[in-house]
A and B are shown apart, each in its own frame.
Chain A
Amino acid sequence: MTTLDEPLQVEGEQQPLSGLAMVPRGPQGQKPADYRSDQEVRWCPGCGDYIILNTVQAMLPALGLKKENLVFVSGIGCSSRFPYYLDTYGMHSIHGRAPAIATGLAVARPDLSVWVITGDGDALSIGGNHLIHALRRNVNITILLFNNRVYGLTKGQYSPTSNQGMVTKSSPLGAPDAPFNPVSLALGAEASFVARALDSDREGLAEVLSRAAEHRGAALVEIYQNCPIFNNGAFDVLKEPGSERRLIKLAAGSPLGLGEPDDQGRHSHLVVRDGGTLRVVARDEADPAQVLIHDPADPDPTTAFALSRLSAQDLSYVVTGVFRAVSRPAYDDDVRRQGEIAAEASPPDLEDLIFAGDVWSVPTHRGASA
C-alpha cells in the first residue's frame, strides 16, 4: 500500500476528510440572499429549476464557507444557466464539458468548493465521457444533474433519459432510444457518492446536497426536475397522493420501506433481498431476515446497484436519498500529493533542472580523449 492509497485524514480525526476541509470558513450568520446575484432569473414560469435554485441558495449558508471560495461550473442547457444566478464565482462553459473544466479547477485549487451544474443531455449525451471519468477518478467535485428527461434549451427534443416512445419534435413517431438510468450509470462508473432527489422535495434535496458537498471525492446528485414547457408533469406521479406507494426514501441503518405508514410509523411495504435482486413485498409477507437495511457505506456497490435498478423508468418505484457514500482517495488530492512528496524529496530549482544531465561548457571543451 502506498501512501496514496489511504484516504486523506486530518491528524487526530477518525472520519475521512470532508470535501470542504480545505475550503476557508466564512462569516457566521450567512443568509440565502447573500448568494443571490444581481441577474434576473430567466427560466420559464413554473420551471423546476427555480425550486432547485432556491433550495441551493437556502442550503449554502449552512455550509459556512467563504462564498468567494465557491465555484459553480456548468455546461449548456436551461439548467446550465444556474451559475449566473448565484453570487459566487462561476463559469457557464460549453455543452457537456463542465466536469472536465471542474477537474482542472479542482486539481489546481484545493481551497475551492467546486460544483458542476448539468442537465440530462449535457451530462449523459454530449458529456457522457467526461461524467464517467470524473466519477471514476473521484475528483473532489459535486455534480448536480438536473434531469427533466428532455432537451429544454433546444426546445424539446428527446434526451438520453426520455421514455422510449416519447413523442417530441425530433421523434414524431416516438423516440426509438432506450434511456439511461443515471444512478446505475454513476455506480457503474465507480462513483463514490450517488444520490437522487426530487425538485419539489426541498428538505430531501437540501439534505442530499449538503451531504454531497461534504463528501470528499466526486458526488453525483440526480435531481428529477419538471420542465413545464416540454415535458410537463413527467414526475407528477411522485408528487400526487399515492406517491408513498412509489417512493422509497433511503435512510442509513433502517429497514427500507414504502407506502402509507401505520400509526407506529411502519411502512406497509418493505424492500427485501430476493436472490441477487431486490423486491418490494407487503410487510406481512416479508421474511424479516431478508429485509434490506440500507448501508450507503457498503464498500461493495452491488446492493446500491440493485437499489438503482428498483427505480424504474416508469416511476413505479423511485428510490431517493443517498445510494452510496464510500470513502476512497480523491484524484485531485492524489495528484497534488504526488507533487508534494516529489518536492520534499527534491526541492524544485529551475537552474538545477535546466543545467541537469550531460552539460558542457564552451570554450572549455572536454571529453576529447577516447
Chain B
Amino acid sequence: MNTERIDRVVVRFAGDSGDGMQLVGDRFTGQAAAFGNDLATFPNFPAEIRAPQGTVHGVSSFQVHFASSDILTPGDAPDVLVAMNPAALRANAADVSVGGVVIVDPDEFTKRNIAKAGYVSDPLSDGSLAHLTVHQVTMGALTLGAVSELGLGRKEALRCRNLFALGLLSWMYGRPTEVVEDYLRKKFAKKPLVAQANILAFRAGWNFGETTEMFAVSYEVPAAALPEGTYRHVSGNAALALGIIAAGWVSGMKVVLGTYPITPASDILHELAKHKNFPVLTIQAEDEISAVGAALGASFGGALGVTTTSGPGLALKSETIGLAVMAELPLLVVDVQRGGPSTGLPTKTEQADLLQAMFGRHGESPVAVVAPSTPADCFDAALEAVRIAVTYRTPVLLLSDGALANGAEPWRLPVIDQLPDIRPDFSTEPNAADGSGTHWPYVRDQETLARAWAIPGTPGLEHRIGGLEKAADTGAISYDPANHEFMVRLRQQKIAGIDVADLDVHDPSPATTRTLILGWGSTYGPIQDACRRLAARGVPVAHAHLRHLNPFPANLDDVLARYERVIVPEMNLGQLALLLRGRGATHLVSHTQVTGQPFKAGDLEAAFLAYMEGVAA
C-alpha cells in the first residue's frame, strides 16, 4: 500500500445528533493538534437537541481542516465526508469537493431510512454520487463484531460506531492513536466496559483500513511549521473565558459574571464556572436584565463586571448598558452573535448585531465595540475589551459570533508577564475642587476623560451616582440644558478618544494594489484565505481587518483613501459599510451573505475577482 504526502485535508463527520459526531470531530482535532498540524474546525449542529432520528433536521456535523502549512479557515469543501446515515449524506453530499471521498454504511440505506432522509431513490445506486468516490463500509456490523466479546446490548454496542469511523480516518491520515485511547479511558473511567468497547471499535476501524484493499492509499499530512512557541488547541468560547480570567488576574479585580444561558454563548459560562478557584464568581441570573444588572452592581463595588449573551439577550440588556454609560462604570458585555432576528438561527453564525451594539440604546449612548477575528484571538480581544472598560470607565461590547465560539484552532500561548497592566486606579483621596474635602465622582483625567472612581468602603468618598444626568465634575443631578449638551458631547468624545491600535494592512504589493478588502470579526480567515489565493493567481489585493469598531482606528480614513475600491464582506446586510458611508466613504462595495454559515474562501475569491473585473461592481 502507498502512502501519499499531501499538504492539507478537510474531513467532515456527519450523523444524527445522537451519533457522537461532535465527539469524534473533537477527537480528530485533538489528534491533529497532537501531531503538530495547523488546523481549524467548524462544528455545525441542529437547533433541536434530538430532532427526529434519521431526518435531515437532526443532522449534526463537525468539519476539521488540518494542514502542514498555516491555514485560516475550516475549509470550503470537505475532501472526505463520513456520513453515518442517509440523512447525513443528503445534508452534506453537495458540499463535498469534486472527486472527494464519501464513506457510508450501506446497511443504513434501508428503504425506510432512504425515504426518511427525503431521497426518492437510493443515492448509492442511482448514480447521483458519480462525481465522488464512495466507499461502502458496514461500520455498524463491523463495530458489533469488534465489541461482541464484551457482551454489550446491541444498542449500546452500536453506539461505538462513531469510534470505528474515527479509527478508519485515523488510519487513512496516519493520526496518533494513543491520544484517543487515553481520552476514552479517562472519559469513561467510571464505565470501564464502555471505555473498552469504544477502544475496540476505534482499533477495529484502524485495522479495517490497514487490512482491506478498499483504500489504495493512505495519506500523510506532515506537521506544520508554526511560529515557535507553546500551543494548545482552543475554541473561541474557551479562549474568551480564559481571556476574561486573565483580565481579572492582571487587573487585580475579582471577576463577577452575571449571565443567563443562551446559545452560542453558554459555553463561556460553563468554562468560567469551572475555574472558581480563581477570583471568578458566576451568577446564573433569572434573565438577561438581571444578569447585566448583577454585573454592573459588581462593577460599582470595584469588581470586573462581565455579562455574556447572544443577540436576543443583548436586546434585553440595553437599558442597563445605558445606565453603565451614564454611571461611567466598566462593564464587559459579550455578544456571541447568531442568526436573527428574533430566535432566528440559534446555532448558526451571523454578524448582524453590529448596529445593535453601536446604537441599540436610547439617547446618545456611545460604547466601545471590539471584535475578535479568530477563535484564539478571542483571548486577546477579551483583554483588550477589559483594558478599555477599566481605563475609560465604560461599557465595552465584544462581538464574537457562532463561528468563532465553536470553531477551534491552535493557540500560541501568551507569555504571562507580557500581558497588559490594566489596574483600575481607584480614588482614595477627596478631589472636590471647592475644597470641601468631598469626592466629586465626575472629575476626569484630562487625557483619557475617565472619571474618578471611588468604590464603596473608601472612607470619606461617599457619593451617589445613577441614571439621571450628572453635573460635570460634581456628579450631582443636573437638569441644566447647557450641562446636558456638554455631558452628551463629553461622553461621545471620551469614547471617540479611546486609544486603539492603528489598522494594519496586508498588502502584497503596495505600489500597485488598487483593491482593499476590509472586514471585521470572524470573516478574517476566509477573507485572508481568498486574498492569498488571489495573490497566488497574480491578482494582488490588500486586506485589513478591524478589531475596533468603536472607535475606529485613527488611520482608517487614510487607509481607505489609499485604494481605488474597498470591498467590505460581512455576514449581514452591510452594517459596517453603512458606518463607513456615514464617515463619507464613497468607493465601497458591500459584499454580504446571510446564510447562517461562514463565508467560503473560494466564494470570496470569485466575488472579489468579479468586483475587480467590474462584472459585479
Contact = CB atoms under 8 A, between A and B. Distances in A.
Contacts of A355: 230, 232, 413
A365 B226 CA distance: 10
A133 B286 contact: yes
| B: interface residue count bin | 35 or more
Name which of A84, A101, A343, A356 has the most chain B CB atoms within 10 A of its CB.
A101
A105 B297 contact: yes
B297 A94 contact: no
Interface string A350-370: 110111111111110111111
Interface stretch (A47-55, A61-69, A201-209, A269-277): A61-69
B305 A104 contact: yes
A275 B246 CA distance: 60
Contacts of B467: 76, 92-94
Contact of A109 (B225, B294, B456): B456
A343 B279 CA distance: 8
Given A68-B457, A370-B176, A39 B476 contact: yes
Given A129-B286, A342-B277, A350-B249, A360 B458 contact: no
A88 B177 CA distance: 63
A368 B224 CA distance: 12
A279 to B, nearest CB: 37
Interface string B214-231: 000000000101111111
Contact of A354 (B225, B322, B416): B416
A13 B242 CA distance: 40
Contact of B464 (A83, A133, A356, A367): A83
A335 B467 CA distance: 29
Contact of A353 (B228, B278, B299): B278
A367 B226 CA distance: 16
A359 B281 contact: no
Contacts of B225: 362-363
Given A343-B277, A359-B232, A105 B301 contact: yes
Interface residues of A, number: 67
B230 A339 contact: no
A89 B461 CA distance: 8
B51 to A, nearest CB: 31
B254 A108 contact: yes
A367 B36 contact: yes
A109 B176 contact: no
B365 interface: no
Interface in B457-499: 457-468, 476-477
Given A97-B293, A109-B457, A348 B230 contact: no
Given A94-B323, A360-B231, A335 B293 contact: no
B547 interface: no
B345 interface: no
B294 A354 contact: no
A97 B290 contact: yes
Interface in B538-567: none
A68 B30 contact: no
Given A101-B300, A112-B457, A343-B277, A68 B290 contact: no
B256 A104 contact: yes
B477 A84 contact: yes
A92 B226 contact: no
A104 B231 contact: no
Nearest to B416: A351
A360 B302 contact: no
B176 A367 contact: yes
B222 to A, nearest CB: 9
B179 interface: yes
Given A89-B462, A97-B289, A368-B36, A108 B301 contact: yes
Given A68-B462, A109-B301, A369-B176, A130 B281 contact: no
Contacts of B8: none
Contacts of A339: 276-281
B231 A359 contact: yes
A310 B59 CA distance: 58
Contacts of A66: 457, 459
Contacts of B282: 335
Contact of A100 (B232, B294, B459): B294
Nearest to A331: B283
A107 B302 CA distance: 12
A170 interface: no
B320 interface: yes
Contact of B35 (A67, A100, A336, A367): A367
A336 B283 CA distance: 11
B19 to A, nearest CB: 24
B298 A365 contact: no
Contact of B276 (A84, A99, A338): A338
B281 A336 contact: yes
B65 interface: no
Nearest to A105: B297
A295 interface: no
Nearest to A42: B477
Nearest to B304: A108
A283 B322 CA distance: 58
Nearest to A355: B413
A219 interface: no
A102 B462 CA distance: 17
Nearest to B438: A38
18 contacts: A74-B466, A84-B464, A92-B468, A100-B285, A100-B293, A100-B294, A104-B297, A104-B303, A108-B256, A111-B457, A112-B456, A346-B277, A350-B416, A358-B233, A360-B33, A363-B225, A366-B36, A367-B176
Given A39-B464, A68-B459, 15 more contacts: A37-B464, A83-B466, A100-B258, A101-B294, A105-B298, A109-B456, A129-B287, A133-B285, A335-B282, A335-B283, A336-B281, A359-B230, A363-B225, A368-B35, A370-B177
Interface of A: 37, 39, 66-71, 73-74, 76, 83-84, 87-94, 97, 99-109, 111-112, 129-130, 133, 335-336, 338-339, 342-343, 345-348, 350-351, 353-363, 365-370
| 7 interchain residue pairs of minimum CB distance | A92-B466, A100-B293, A104-B297, A104-B294, A365-B36, A101-B297, A100-B290
